[in-house]
């Protein structure tokens, strides 16, 4: 496997989900973690979902991120086909504002976990951060970057507070 082989596979159910799931990719890029995005639907192209997961496992994908809206089964279906960690992102693309996707993604039956984030872009971003945190368990350089990331977040809050008080 070359150093540029993707370690994280980001799947989404529709082209309409891309603008949300790009947030996960942005974070992974920021940390230098190589990822790859695909559109594949649990409902419309179920065989493709299975193939992508099997190919991903065979090609060193360590973590799967799956984002979908409406009756969102994508993350659960991915989890059905792998023993690797699956992070689910509920997307707010339906008339229920993503609550339907949140419940469908989070409420997995016992034995088949999907680590579910918040709805929408913040959830996609957190999926990226969580994937980095999992990879960082065995990668001290990523762990260092995570410490800096947290320090920068804290600094921004402090700076914002100072500006407000000025
Ligand atoms: C889900 O249905 C997709 O994940 C998307 O969020 C939603 C709507 O898909 P489109 O009708 O916009 O393709 O499967």
**Ligand 1 binding site (Cβ under 6 Å of any ligand atom):** 13-14, 16-17, 41, 43, 68-70, 91, 93
Angle between helices 121-135 and 140-165 (to 10 degrees): 140
| Ligand 1 centroid distance, CA of 112 (Å) | 23
Query: d(Cα 139, Cα 37) in Å, to the nearest integer?
Result: 23
| Ligand 1 centroid distance, CA of 13 (Å) | 6
**Is residue 89 a contact partner of residue 66, using CB atoms and an 8 Å limit?**
yes
Atom of ligand 1 nearest to the CA of 15: 13
Atom of ligand 1 nearest to the CA of 16: 12
Per-residue pLDDT in tens (0 to 9) along the chain, 166 residues: 445 899 999 999 999 999 999 999 999 999 999 999 999 999 999 999 999 999 999 999 999 999 999 999 999 999 999 999 999 999 999 999 999 999 999 999 999 999 999 999 999 999 999 999 999 999 999 999 999 999 999 999 999 999 999 8
């Amino acid at each position: 496997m070359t150093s540029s082989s993707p370690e994280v596979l980001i799947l989404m159910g529709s082209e309409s989900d891309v603008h949300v799931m790009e947030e996960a990719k942005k974070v992974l890029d920021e940390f230098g973690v190589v990822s790859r995005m695909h559109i594949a639907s649990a409902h419309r192209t179920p065989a493709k979902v299975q193939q992508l997961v099997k190919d991903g496992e065979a090609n060193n994908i360590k973590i799967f991120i799956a984002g979908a809206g409406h009756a969102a089964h994508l993350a659960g279906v991915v989890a059905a086909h792998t023993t690797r960690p699956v992070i689910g992102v509920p997307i707010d693309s339906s008339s229920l504002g993503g609550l339907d996707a949140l419940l469908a993604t989070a409420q997995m039956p016992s034995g088949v976990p999907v680590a579910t984030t918040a709805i929408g872009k913040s959830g996609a971003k957190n999926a990226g951060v969580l994937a980095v945190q999992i990879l960082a368990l065995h990668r001290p350089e990523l762990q260092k970057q995570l410490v800096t990331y947290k320090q920068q977040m804290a600094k921004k809050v402090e700076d914002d507070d100072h500006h407000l008080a000025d």
